[in-house]
Structure 1
Amino acid sequence: MTRQLKMLILVWMDAFLISISFYAALALRFDNAIPAIYIESLRQNILFFVFIKLMVFVVGKMYHSLWKYASISELVQIMFTIFFANLLVMSFAYLAGDINNVIFPRSVYVIAAILDIFLIGGVRVGYRALPAKLNKYKGWGMKKRVMIIGAGDAGAMLVKEINNHSALNSKIVVFVDDDSTKVGLRIGGAPVAGTTEEVPKIAKKYGIDEIIIAIPSAGKAQIQDIVAKCKKTKAKLKILPGIYEIIGGKVKISQVRDVQIEDLLGREQIKLDTNEIRNFIKYKTVMVTGAGGSIGSELCRQILHFQPSELILVEIYENSVYDLQNELNRKYEGLNLKVIIASVRDRDRMEEIIGTHRPDVIFHAAAHKHVPLMESNPKEAVKNNVFGTLNVAQMADKFGVSKFVLISTDKAVNPTNIMGATKRLCEMIVQSIDKESKTEFAAVRFGNVLGSNGSVIPLFKKQIAQGGPVTLTHEDIIRYFMSIPEATQLVLQAGAMAKGGEIFILDMGEPVKIIDLAKDLIRLSGFEPDVDIAIKITGLRPGEKLYEELLLDEEGVSKTVHEKIFVGKPIFTDYEKILKHINTLDEGIRTPNANLKHIMGRIVKTYKVYEEENVKADAQKNENMKIGN
C-alpha cells in the first residue's frame, strides 16, 4: 500500500470519527435525548466542523508521522492539535449560532475534544500495537522458548526488545531471579518462577530451548555459578554483557551474545595503579616487538590509554600489523604511530631502528611459541627467541633505553621443550645484562592466555564447528589461564614497578583441567560431550608437560604492592658467561646436524631434554620386562 493511499484512508477515518465524536458528545450531554434543534444544526454544520479539524490536523502534521513507530511524543502532539482544532470549531460554531440562533452548550465541545483524543489517538496507537501483538503470537507454538535469568531492569527491557523483533522467532516464557520477593510476579506476561537454584527444574518444566543471563552488574564469580547451574540443562546459553559494555544503560538485542569460555575462566576485573602506569608511559616513546601477535597487539591497545608520545610497532608479519595499524588509527585521532616491518633476528636492523627512534621503553613480545613446531625446528626457536632477544636487549643497552620488559612464559620453568628452554635463556640474558647496563631490564612470566593465536581454545572451537572430535593429549593435563587484556595490563603494571633484574610472576589463579575446558566449550556450543561431539585422547606430544609451573625452586617469591604480581629473586647474573654460552649456540646453529637441544641442556640446567629415541627405548625395555615375567 502506497504512503498516499494510507494517508487518504487515515483522513477519511478521522472525518468519520470527528462526526461520531460530536454526535456522541451531544448524546452524552443530553442523556441520549438530543433536542431536534441541535440535531438539525449539527446536520447543517458538521461538514464545516470536519473540514476545520482536518485542516488543523494537516497543519499540525498529524499525517506525517510514522505511526508504526509512534510513541508518547506523538500522543502529546495529537492532544495539542485536537485541543486547538476544537477551539477553532467552537469559534466557528458560535459565529454560525449567532446567525442561526442555535448555540451548542460549551460542555459539548469539551466532551467532543475528549472523545476525539480517545478515538483518533486510539486508532493510531492501535495501528502501532496491533502488528506487534500479531507478530508476538504468530507461530507461537513454533518459537524458541526462552528463560531470562534476572528479573530486573535489563531483563524487563530485554522482553520488550525480543517481542519487538519477530525475526528472532523467540518467546519469553519464564523468569528466574534470586530476589525471592519477585518470585510469583509477572514481567511482560511471563512469570518469575523461582531462583537460580531451581534453574534445571524450571527449564525442564517449561521446556526451555534458550537461557539468557541478563544481570549486567553480575561479577565473574556469580556468572560462573549461574552458568554451572545452566549447564545441567540442555538449553542454549546466552548472556547480556556487563553494564560497562551497555551504552547509555539501554539494552539491545545485538548485545546479547553466546556465553564464552572467557566468561567462565576469567576473573573479577583487576585493579591497576593507573597513575604509576601513566607516569611510566605518558609522553614516552614506546616500542613493541611482535606487535602483530595476540599479546603484542593488546599491549599496543593498552599502552595507548596512557598517552605515549609515539608508539613504534615492530613486526615481521605484515598482514597482522597492517590490521592493527588500521584499527588503532580509526580509534585514536592524531595518533603518532610508526609501523616497522623487521625481524628481531636482524641485529643491524634492530640497531638502525632503536638508534633512529630512541625509544624510552621496549616491550619485547616477539617470539616463536608453538611447542610442537619448535620441537621439530629447534634452530628457528633459538634464532628467533634467543638471538632476537639478545639483539634487542643489547641495542636497548647501547642506546640508553630506560626500560626493557621481556614477555616470558611459564614454560620457561623446568622446561621440557626447546621453546621453554629458549625462553628461560632469554630470562637469563635479561637478568644478567641488567647488572651491566643503565637500562632497567625485567621479565614478566605468565601462563596461557585465553584465545591467543594457536592456543587450545580456538582449536577446540574449530573442531566443534567441524563436528568433532575434540582432541586433547591427556585427560589429566592442566593449565593456567588468563585473559589477554588482564595479562597485558599486568605486564604494564609490572613494567612500571621494575627497578631492574626482576622476573615478575603473574597470579594465574586456579589451574584448569583441559578436559573440563573441552566439555564446557562443547556444552556452550549447544552439544553434549561424548554424545554429539566426541572427545579423543591423542597422547602427550614431544616436550609437553601434564602441568606447568610458574616458579623455579631456587627463585623464591616475594610479594609486590600489587596483589596479582609477585617477583622472583635473580639467580643468574653472569653476563660474560651467558655470552660464551650463546657463542656455543651460534656455532651449533652454523654446524649441520648439531644437536641444539643438548647444547641448550648444558646451558639451561633445568631443561629436561626430550629424547624421543630414549622414550621409545624405555617403552621397549618395559615391554620386554613384562614378557619376561
Structure 2
Amino acid sequence: MPAAVRRLILIMWDALAWVLAVIVFLSMRDAALEPVQARWVLFYTAAAVLLQVIGGLSSQLYLGRNRIGSFADAARMGFTVAGVAILNGTTFLLAADSFPMRAAVALPSLALIFMATARLVFRSIVESRPRSAAANAIPTLVYGAGNAGHQVATLMDLAEDAPYRIVGFVDDNRDKRNLRVRHHRVLGLGRDIIKVAKERGAQAVIFAISAASPDLIQRLSTACEEHGLDLLIIPPLREMVGGQVTLGSLRQLNVADLLGRRPIKTDLSAIADYVTGKVVLVTGAGGSIGSELAAQVHRLGPAKLILLDRDESALHGVQLDLYGNGLLDTEDMVLCDIRDEDALERVFSKHRPDVVFHAAALKHLPMLERFPTEGWKTNVLGTRNVLRAAYSVGVERFVNISTDKAAAATSVLGRTKRLAERLTAWYANEYQVPYLSVRFGNVLGSRGSVLISFQSQIEKGGPVTVTHPDVTRYFMTIPEACELVMQAGAIGLPGDVLVLDMGEPVKILDVAKRMIAESKKDIEIHFTGLRDGEKMHEVLFSTVEAGAQSEHPLISEVQVPALNPAELAADSDEGVLQMLDSDPTVYPLPALSEKVI
C-alpha cells in the first residue's frame, strides 16, 4: 500500500475515533443532554476532528515519522489529543454556557482509547504474521526464552528471507514451560535440547543468553558437536549496538565465550578523575596489556600520554593504532629499558608524569626458569627503578601490573612478580602514597599466550601441544583486564594488591579443542607434561592471604609484606638465587640455585 494511502487511512480513523467517541458518549444513560447541549457537543466534535487533523500534521503524527503502534507514535498521539482537548475544551466552555463540562473530559478520553486500540490491533497483526523464511532456511532451536530470545524470535519472524526458521524454544526456567515467544512454544528445559532437536528436526541451536557461565557454554557446545548441531550465539551486550540482536551479530562460538560473559560496570567518572587532564606514563606500552591500557587512557583525554618501551617495533605498532601514524618522531614515544636506572630517571625528570601504569615485565615462565637473573633484572630491579623514579618526581598514583602466579609462587616468574608487589607496598607504606599492584591471570590474545601458540600450531597443521589434560588457567580478554586495572587504580589504597575476579578457571584442553573445531581441521593433540615451576591449577590467593571485597564487585584486595629496596640482594647470580629462595612470603620450594643460568 502506498505511504500516502496508509497515512490517509490513519487520518480518517482518528477522525472516526472522535465520531465514535461522541456516539458512545451520547448513548450513555447518564448523559441525559438537553437538545441545545447535544448540539454543542456535536459542534465540539466537528472542531475536534479538524484540530486533530491539523495538529497531527503539524506534529508529524501522520507523516510517517514513527512506526505505527510504537511507543514514540503512541506518545505523539497522546500529546496531540491532549492539545486538542485543552484548546477545544477551553474554547467551548468559555464560549457556551450550555456546553457540558463532562463532555470535555469524556470525549478526548474515549477518542484516545479508540485511536490506541486500532494502533495496537494493527501492530499485533503485523508482528504476529511471520514473513516467509528463505527456501533453504535452517530449522533452529533457540536456547533461552528471555529478552534476548524474544529479540531473536522477532528478528527471524520479520526479516526478509531469514536464514533460520525457529522450530521452538528451550529454557532452564521450569515456569516457562509451554510459554509462547511470539508464536513459538517453549518445548522443554535446556537439558532436553538434544531430544527436542531430534523431535523437531532442528539442525542448529541459537544460544540466546547474554551472560552465561563457561560451564554451561562448554556443555552445550559439546552436546551440539556430538549430535551434529550447528551452535550460534548472540554476543555479550557490550558488543551489540544499542543492546539489540541483529542477524549480523549472530556468530559461531569462539574461545572467548568459554570464559563467560560477565558484564563489567566501570565507574568512568572515578577513572577520569585521576587520568583526564593528567600526564600519564605507561611502561611496556608496546605489549598486549600496555598497548590496551594506552588506548583506554587515550580515550579519557590525558594532558599527555607517554609511551615507554625498549622495543622500537612495538612502539611503532602502538603509535599506528592510537594516532594513525608510525613516524616515532614525537616526544611521547620513549625508547628506554627500565633496567637502565639513569635513563629512566632522565625520562621521568623530563616528562614529570602524574600517573604511572607499570606494565613492563618478562613473563614467559619457561625462559625465566632457565634464566632467573634476567627475570630478576627486569621484574624486580626494573620495578624498583620505576618506583624510585616515580617517587622522585612526585607521581600521584602508581599501578603495578602483577600476575596470579605471584600467589603461592612456584616459579621464577611468580617469585619476581611477588617481590615487585612487595617493593610497591614498601613505597606506598613508607611515603603514604597511592602506589598499588593489580594481580590477574592469563589474557586472551596477548603475545606469547597459549592461544597464539595454539593458533600457530593449527596453521602449521599440528599437532597442538598441551601440558596436561587436566591443567586449568584463569583467562580474561585484554580489554576486560585493562578496564578493571583502570578501575582498580581509582579505588585502590596505598600498598594494596588488588586481585581481579577472573571468573571460573578454564581447562586448557577445552580451549585447544575449541580452536581446532573453529579451524575445521583434523589436528591431533599431544600432551607434553607440566614444565618446571608450572602449576596444575593457578590460584588468585595463597592460603596465607585473606582476600577482602573492595568497592568493586569484581575486585578483591589483599595485603603483602613490604620489602625495603635496600634489602635487595646484590646483582649477582648467587645473591639473586638466594633472595628468590629465601622470600618468606612463599612456600618452601626446591631451591632455584640448582637451576641453570
TM-score tier, shorter chain, comes to: 0.5 to 0.7
Alignment correspondent of 1:490: 484
Matched AA of 1:176:
F
Q: Distance in 2 between the 1:457 and 1:245 partners?
A: 21
The correspondence for 1:342, drawn from 316, 336, 342, is: 336
Q: 1:204 to 1:614 in 2, by over 3 A?
A: farther
Q: 1:514 to 1:245 in 2, by over 3 A?
A: closer
Matched AA of 1:537:
F
Q: CA offset at residue 546 of structure 1?
A: 1.6
Matched AA of 1:221:
A
1:424–1:604 CA contact under 8 A, matched in 2 = no
2:419–2:563 CA contact under 8 A, matched in 1 = no
Q: Distance in 2 between the 1:524 and 1:145 partners?
A: 22
Q: 1:526 to 1:232 in 2, by over 3 A?
A: farther
> SS at the partner of 1:163?
coil
Q: Distance in 1 between the 2:191 and 2:307 partners?
A: 50
Alignment correspondent of 1:176: 169
Q: Distance in 1 between the 2:243 and 2:266 partners?
A: 25
Query: Does residue 587 in structure 1 map to residue 579 in structure 2?
Result: no
Alignment correspondent of 1:443: 437
Q: 1:154 to 1:446 in 2, by over 3 A?
A: same
Q: Distance in 2 between the 1:272 and 1:312 partners?
A: 24
The correspondence for 2:527, drawn from 518, 533, 537, is: 537
Q: 1:195 to 1:498 in 2, by over 3 A?
A: closer
Query: Does residue 275 in structure 1 map to residue 260 in structure 2?
Result: no
| TM-score, normalised via structure 1 length | 0.63
1:542–1:612 CA contact under 8 A, matched in 2 = no
Alignment correspondent of 2:95: none
Aligned-residue RMSD, C-alpha:
3.7
2:290–2:359 CA contact under 8 A, matched in 1 = yes
Q: What does 1:357-436 align with in structure 2 at a 5 Å threshold?
A: 357-436=351-430
Q: CA offset at residue 495 of structure 1?
A: 1.5
Matched AA of 1:561:
E
Matched length: 452
1:421–1:607 CA contact under 8 A, matched in 2 = no
Q: CA offset at residue 162 of structure 1?
A: 7.9
1:460–1:518 CA contact under 8 A, matched in 2 = yes
> SS at the partner of 1:233?
helix
Alignment correspondent of 1:293: 287
Query: Does residue 597 in structure 1 map to residue 588 in structure 2?
Result: no
Q: Distance in 1 between the 2:542 and 2:214 partners?
A: 34
Q: Distance in 2 between the 1:300 and 1:467 partners?
A: 35
Alignment correspondent of 1:220: 211
Q: Distance in 2 between the 1:162 and 1:425 partners?
A: 61
Q: Distance in 2 between the 1:556 and 1:149 partners?
A: 39
> SS at the partner of 1:363?
strand
In the TM superposition, what whole-angstrom CA distance separates every residue of 1:342-392 from its partner, at most 9, and x where no partner exists?
Answer: 221222221122111111010100001010122222232222212221111
> SS at the partner of 1:457?
helix
1:464–1:522 CA contact under 8 A, matched in 2 = yes
Q: CA offset at residue 395 of structure 1?
A: 0.5
2:178–2:186 CA contact under 8 A, matched in 1 = no
Q: Distance in 1 between the 2:181 and 2:407 partners?
A: 56
Matched AA of 2:559:
K
Alignment correspondent of 1:237: 231
Q: Distance in 2 between the 1:226 and 1:422 partners?
A: 36
| TM-score, normalised via structure 2 length | 0.66
Alignment correspondent of 2:449: 455
Q: CA offset at residue 524 of structure 1?
A: 5.8
Identity %: 37
Q: Distance in 1 between the 2:170 and 2:390 partners?
A: 57
Q: Distance in 1 between the 2:244 and 2:263 partners?
A: 22
Q: 1:144 to 1:406 in 2, by over 3 A?
A: same
The correspondence for 1:558, drawn from 548, 557, 565, is: 548
Where structure 2 has 5 or more consecutive residues not aligned to the other structure, the ranges are: 1-63, 66-130
Q: What does 1:456-535 align with in structure 2 at a 5 Å threshold?
A: 456-522=450-516, 532-535=522-525
Q: CA offset at residue 149 of structure 1?
A: 4.5
2:399–2:435 CA contact under 8 A, matched in 1 = yes
Query: Does residue 157 in structure 1 map to residue 155 in structure 2?
Result: yes
Q: Distance in 2 between the 1:210 and 1:320 partners?
A: 42
Q: Distance in 1 between the 2:192 and 2:518 partners?
A: 20
Q: CA offset at residue 288 of structure 1?
A: 0.9
Q: 1:159 to 1:318 in 2, by over 3 A?
A: farther
Matched AA of 2:349:
G
Higher alpha-carbon deviation: 151-160 or 545-554: 151-160
Alignment correspondent of 1:5: none
2:156–2:164 CA contact under 8 A, matched in 1 = no
1:471–1:535 CA contact under 8 A, matched in 2 = yes
Q: Distance in 2 between the 1:239 and 1:337 partners?
A: 45
Matched AA of 2:494:
G
> SS at the partner of 2:290?
helix
Matched AA of 2:566:
E
Q: Distance in 2 between the 1:319 and 1:155 partners?
A: 48
Where structure 1 has 5 or more consecutive residues not aligned to the other structure, the ranges are: 1-71, 74-131, 165-169, 589-593, 616-629
Q: What does 1:239-254 align with in structure 2 at a 5 Å threshold?
A: 239-247=233-241, 252-254=246-248
Alignment correspondent of 2:562: 572
1:400–1:438 CA contact under 8 A, matched in 2 = no
Matched AA of 2:439:
R
